[in-house]
Chain A
Amino acid sequence: MTTTVAAPAPAPGREVADRGSKARRYFLIGLAALFSLAAVRVITGVQEVDSPGSLRAAIIATCPILLAALGGLWSERAGVVNIGLEGQMLLGTWGGAFFTYYYGPWVGLAGAIAFGVLGGVVHALATVTFGVDHIVSGVALNLIAVGLTTFLAEAFFSDLDSEFGHGGAQQLTGIQKPYTIEKIPGISDAAASLSDKHWFVVSDVASTVAALTTRISLVTILVFALVVFTGWALWRTRFGLRLRSCGENPEAAESLGINVIMHKYAAVLISGGFAGLGGGYLALVSSPGFHTNQANGRGYIGLAAMIFGNWRPGGALLGSGVFGYTDSLRLRDSATIHAMLLFVGFWLLVFAAWRIYKARRTSGIVLGVFGLLFLLWFALTDEVPRDFTSMTPYVTTLLVLAFASQRLRMPKADGKIYRKGSAG
């Protein structure tokens, strides 16, 4: 595995925080985000910051990243690093489009999952059975997936043209979408009209409700259900406990009679399935169809979101939300993006103050300087070049990892190659 440089040990006791306090923490984070967004909206007068339309776009952008992050979570909890998420997503986009064209969207989603699992099989064979380095196998898998989907699209989609979709050498558009809930009577309209009032906080809550109840795909609801499912399956079932033990200490797990190889296989296959579904989501829900190289780095971003979320489903949701929101900003007008400078600057200063309070002066000062620079940027300009927005998720990832990575704890045997019988 990669050369490790000793990082300071994480603070003890973090892992044993009880469930109540954890739920409360996520609730508080959500509340803080809501209040600060509302404040930014009122101060700058840019309503698009959290209009139902913006939030809806953000949710749609979040889902594929979230699925990749959950996929990464499953596999890394069993100790297998899955850089091949990107490739498995790509396979999912093709599988999703192909099966939707011939059999409809639900079979299409199943096809996306099946193709992702196929990618998972390749990765599991290479890493678990043959003991190839996880990163190496993942990189190779991504190469194969790019080539394979490009080739298969040209071979199978070029001549398609019917009511079920219009093909091309690099795309397949106009395919059927999974069922979308247009409106929930009584709630959607009321929330939308309340959000139009532009009241502080009240309208922001209404926007969120409106975004969650208007034109929402059933698949989106399924994705959020999968976050809960992942948390339950990995932390509340015997299978999950065994799977995680393979990621922490496979030799110990083996000595207790757990079939480590089988659990690692299961984890990587499920991981591939999640990533494949993420690809299917891209082709069927996010956009009007398939095009080549559609994942466009989302697999990697998902991996980063999972690390950001400290290898936990709730954290992965939070991380994906941040990336999804910034990703969706690209489609908004430059005033919205400009307003977000205030948001970022404010939070950087908050973190800086907190760091300094915790006697971490250097990082506090660095964060504070960054925060002030953002505020200056906000005060001195009227808009942000569009190119910079598409850069935001990546810069955010780097900054977050640079400032938070020492608080993160990955599964102990993550990325380590395990051979059966090595417990001795």
Chain B
Amino acid sequence: MNAAKIARSVTQALLAPLIAVIVSAAVTSVVVVVAGASVSDFFDVMLKLPSHRNVVNIVNQSSLIFLAALAAAIGFRMNLFNIGVEGQYTLAAYAAALVAGQAWFPGKVNILVALIVAMVVGAVWAGIAGLLKVTRGVSEVISTIMLNAIAGTIVGYLLSNHGQQYGQGRRTTPIPESSQLSGWTPWAAGDGSIWTLVVLAALAGVVMSVVINRTRFGFDLRATGANEDAAVASGVNVKQMVVVSMVISGAIAGLIWMPALFGGADYYGPPFQRTLGFTGIAVALLGRNRPLGIFFGAVLFAWLSEQANPLGLIADISPSVVQITQGVVVLAVVIAYEVVRRWTAAYEQRELRTALDKEVAA
């Protein structure tokens, strides 16, 4: 491949995200103006250099978003829409917190057991949708949405009937001190520490990257996503692939809350973050379902949420404005990719034609 070609493929890869970021910045600016606030104040706050404390929070938050996006991306790679990440991680986080809180095992073993429980619960919950799809032909989009609602209700019911009274609400029994991980404190203690299990997110990213790109299973997965008929013809068992990838997706979804749980949340209760599943779907789309792209997307989303906190105080804008930015950037990026793809196809067609014309002339 010559230098010009490499330059062109790099441009193609970066063009769409660039367009998306510009469009979403523009749309957000319009919204800010309509709400009667100052655009320059808004950008001052959002682009300010993050403090040590902010950096720690961004790293921690991106690890959760990264895992959520990874879970969604597995399914997306074979055109399987696991909208159910939300329900899977809610149920898994509850189950893992419950088991870890019982302290059946000492210290670190307890953590390992809890992680396995989380993965199994997430996998089973996702597996239901997979089985319904292959045996009964139920669209996974609808079934996972229903399973989300059911998971939320089940956890709510169990928590309010069997949870430990804590302040206004209920929680699971906190995990024993020997199973809590202290994390890594890069700056002053007051700036907080980076959770130990952020490593888990990084590990999951690497493993997934290898599995998708370097194994037979990964190839089958991508082949099914790219062209199902061709995959079937080459001997891929699509039904089996659907169930397996749903299960893997659910297992990863089960891990989403684990860095937080063992990094200071200590129990399932009010500090639990909802809607990470949907954030994950957005980030997966943003990152083209590739681990590296997802990584950048996760950092972007975590940055936006963290930096938006002082918006109300400094610029008199509601921090919820970044939700619009996040939504628009996702829609803009999928449209931009499609447009860039069409441009590229048209360009290549033109090139081919000129080359052919030359040959005919010669």
The stretch of A96-104, A244-252, A274-282, A390-398 that contacts the partner chain: A390-398
For B157, give the chain A residue with the smallest CB separation: A387
The answer on a CB contact under 8 Å between A144 and B149 is no
Contacts of B335 in A (CB 8 A): 125-126, 130, 132
How many angstroms between the C-alpha atoms of A368 and B362 in the bound complex?
78
Residue among B36, B147, B331, B334 facing the most chain A CB atoms (10 A cut-off): B331
The answer on a CB contact under 8 Å between A147 and B323 is yes
The answer on a CB contact under 8 Å between A151 and B327 is no
Q: Mark B257-275, 1 if CB is under 8 A from A, else 0.
A: 0000000000000000000
Question: CB of A146 within 8 A of chain B?
Answer: yes
| Nearest CB on A from B280, distance (A) | 11
What are the 6 A-B residue pairs with the smallest beta carbon separation, nearest first? A147-B323, A144-B327, A143-B327, A387-B157, A140-B331, A7-B137
How many angstroms between the C-alpha atoms of A307 and B133 in the bound complex?
15
Residue among B138, B157, B285 facing the most chain A CB atoms (10 A cut-off): B138
The answer on a CB contact under 8 Å between B79 and A5 is no
Contacts of B35 in A (CB 8 A): 151-152, 155-156
Contacts of A403 in B (CB 8 A): 136
How many angstroms between the C-alpha atoms of A151 and B319 in the bound complex?
8
9 new A-B contacts, CB < 8 A, other than A3-B224, A155-B36, are: A1-B79, A3-B228, A83-B141, A132-B338, A143-B331, A151-B323, A387-B160, A395-B146, A395-B150
Contacts of A169 in B (CB 8 A): 318
- A2-B79 contact given A388-B157, A397-B146, A398-B147, CB 8 Å threshold: yes
The stretch of A14-22, A222-230, A296-304 that contacts the partner chain: A296-304
- A387-B153 contact given A2-B140, A144-B327, CB 8 Å threshold: yes
29 A-B pairs with CB atoms under 8 Å apart are A1-B79, A2-B81, A2-B139, A3-B79, A3-B80, A3-B224, A3-B225, A3-B228, A5-B133, A5-B134, A5-B239, A5-B242, A130-B335, A132-B334, A136-B285, A136-B334, A139-B282, A140-B330, A145-B327, A147-B321, A147-B323, A147-B326, A297-B145, A387-B157, A388-B153, A394-B149, A398-B147, A401-B138, A405-B138
| Nearest CB on A from B339, distance (A) | 6
Question: CB of A93 within 8 A of chain B?
Answer: no
The answer on a CB contact under 8 Å between B142 and A303 is yes
- A391-B150 contact given A135-B141, A398-B143, CB 8 Å threshold: yes
The answer on a CB contact under 8 Å between A146 and B327 is yes
How many angstroms between the C-alpha atoms of A21 and B190 in the bound complex?
74
Contacts of A147 in B (CB 8 A): 320-327
Question: CB of A133 within 8 A of chain B?
Answer: yes
| Nearest CB on A from B117, distance (A) | 23
For B161, give the chain A residue with the smallest CB separation: A385
Question: CB of B132 within 8 A of chain A?
Answer: yes
For A307, give the chain B residue with the smallest CB separation: B142
How many angstroms between the C-alpha atoms of A387 and B157 in the bound complex?
6
Q: Number of B residues whose C-beta is below 8 Å from A?
A: 57
Question: CB of B278 within 8 A of chain A?
Answer: yes
Contacts of A137 in B (CB 8 A): 331, 334
Contact residues of A: prevailing secondary structure = helix
Contacts of A303 in B (CB 8 A): 142
- A150-B142 contact given A3-B79, A143-B278, A394-B150, CB 8 Å threshold: no
Contacts of A385 in B (CB 8 A): 157, 161
Interface residue from A122, A135, A145, A155 paired with B318 (Cβ < 8 Å): A155
Q: Mark A64-94, 1 if CB is under 8 A from B, else 0.
A: 0000000000000000000100000000000
| Nearest CB on A from B335, distance (A) | 5
Question: CB of A256 within 8 A of chain B?
Answer: no
How many angstroms between the C-alpha atoms of A254 and B299 in the bound complex?
45
| Size band of the interface chain A makes with B | 35 or more
Residues of B within 8 A of A (CB): 31, 34-36, 78-81, 83, 132-134, 136-143, 145-147, 149-150, 153-154, 156-157, 160-161, 224-225, 228, 238-239, 242, 278, 281-282, 285, 318, 320-328, 330-331, 334-335, 338-339
| Nearest CB on A from B289, distance (A) | 11
How many angstroms between the C-alpha atoms of A17 and B116 in the bound complex?
53
For A170, give the chain B residue with the smallest CB separation: B320
Question: CB of A406 within 8 A of chain B?
Answer: yes
Contacts of B147 in A (CB 8 A): 394, 398
Interface residue from A83, A152, A394 paired with B146 (Cβ < 8 Å): A394
Contacts of A395 in B (CB 8 A): 146, 150
Question: CB of A154 within 8 A of chain B?
Answer: yes
For A397, give the chain B residue with the smallest CB separation: B146
| Nearest CB on B from A184, distance (A) | 38
Contacts of A397 in B (CB 8 A): 142, 146
Interface residue from A140, A143, A155, A402 paired with B323 (Cβ < 8 Å): A143
The answer on a CB contact under 8 Å between A401 and B132 is yes
Contacts of A300 in B (CB 8 A): 142, 145
- A2-B323 contact given A132-B335, A401-B136, CB 8 Å threshold: no
Question: CB of A365 within 8 A of chain B?
Answer: no
Contacts of A155 in B (CB 8 A): 34-36, 318
